[in-house]
Amino acid sequence: MGFRILLLGCLLLASCAPEPRTIVHKTGSTAQEREDALLACNVEGIQEVPRAMTTEYTPGYYQPGTTYCRPAGHHGVACATVGAVNIPPSSRTYDANEGLRNRVVEACMRRKGFQMLVRPTCVTEQDRQRFLASQQGPQPPEWEIPCVL
């Protein structure tokens, strides 16, 4: 019983773990400089690698199963179906060029002296406040940014 509770707790923590986030970084840069560089590189990326919207279709699956019937006393017949499966078809639309475009944007940012940092999401209020303070004025070195919002 204790092991099950421990396992459940671990699963809950894992499912609630904050996703890592990406931020633009250049020591000494201002928020406006980072925003302007990212906008220019996003424009360059969309010009060099336009969107290629693609729809992926997954067919559904239907298995009717087997129906068994038996006499049910004075009430007639009782039937039950076993093994029936009905998975409806689905589709999703995505940009097939998104990965390549992201690499073009990152290369553009590197040419401008910026880098994309991947950091965990700040969990504590103290870490959140420290991150917000680090984004006011010139950006600190990357080692001073342990987490992001």
Q: What is the mean pLDDT of residues 127-131?
A: 89
Total domain count, the chain: 1
How many residues comprise the chain?
Answer: 149
Which residue range forms the structural domain that includes residue 70?
Answer: 53-94
Instruction: Answer yes or no: is 88 within a domain.
Output: yes
| pLDDT value, residue 134 | 83
Tell me how far CA of residue 66 lies from CA of 35, 76, 84, 125, in angstroms.
Answer: 61, 20, 7, 57
Q: What is the mean pLDDT of residues 60-84?
A: 89
Instruction: Answer yes or no: is 89 within a domain.
Output: yes
Tell me how far CA of residue 128 lies from CA of 17, 20, 133, 134, 144, in angstroms.
Answer: 16, 14, 9, 10, 13
pLDDT band at 18 (very low <50, low <70, confident <90, very high): low
Mean pLDDT of the chain: 88
On whether the CB atoms of residues 99 and 52 are closer than 8 A, the answer is no
pLDDT of 5 > 70? The answer is no
* 115 DSSP β-pair partners: 25
Q: What is the mean pLDDT of residues 36-47?
A: 97
**pTM of the complete model:** 0.67
